Amino acid sequence: MIIRLLVFLLINFGALAIGSQFTRRGVASEWYAALIKAPWSPPGWTFGVAWFSIMICYSIYMAISWKEVSNQKLLLVFFVLQLILNVSWNPVFFHLQNPAFALVIITALTFLMVGFLFYFRHETRQWSLLILPYVLWLLIATSLNGYIVFNN
């Protein structure tokens, strides 16, 4: 269990590190500063705290689920798709400055994680609750992204 947890922590925090490179530069850009943002946008520091907490929970969930689920291949497909969508959002939004396509990505990621939550819930039982913070944060992030698309 500890080895699996360390592997998922390494992968998830590695993905966060990649995304944060684009976010750090993007948030400091004139383009981002000029955007009309949602009135419910949280302070910048909350994003780091949220993602740190989410990835801890998600890594624990994956380490446990890897042993619990009967279809590890499907679990791996969900995990890899989640990684691709999660990592790709940052460069699309901040580097390519394409909030509309980023909205497509984050919406797909949100649906994927909701599907993840419901598909494996019978096999992972109470551990499925560890994905809930991820889904809730994605709903907030999707609303923030959508606000930018529709108001700029």
Find the mean pLDDT for residues 77-84.
96
What pLDDT band is residue 41 in, cutting at 50, 70 and 90? very high
| pLDDT tens, position by position, 87-126 | 999 999 999 999 999 999 999 999 999 998 899 888 888 8
- Contact between 95 and 22 under an 8 Å Cβ cutoff? The reply is yes
Entry pTM: 0.93
Locate the domains of the chain by residue range: 2-151
Residue 121 confidence (pLDDT):
86
Q: What is the CATH number of domain 2-151?
A: 1.20.1260.100
Tokens of 108: 């797909």
| pLDDT tens, position by position, 125-139 | 889 999 999 999 999
What single-letter amino acid sits at 111?
Answer: F
User: What is the DSSP track for 1-58?
Assistant: -HHHHHHHHHHHHHHHHHHHHHHHHHHTSHHHHHS---TTPPPTHHHHHHHHHHHHHH
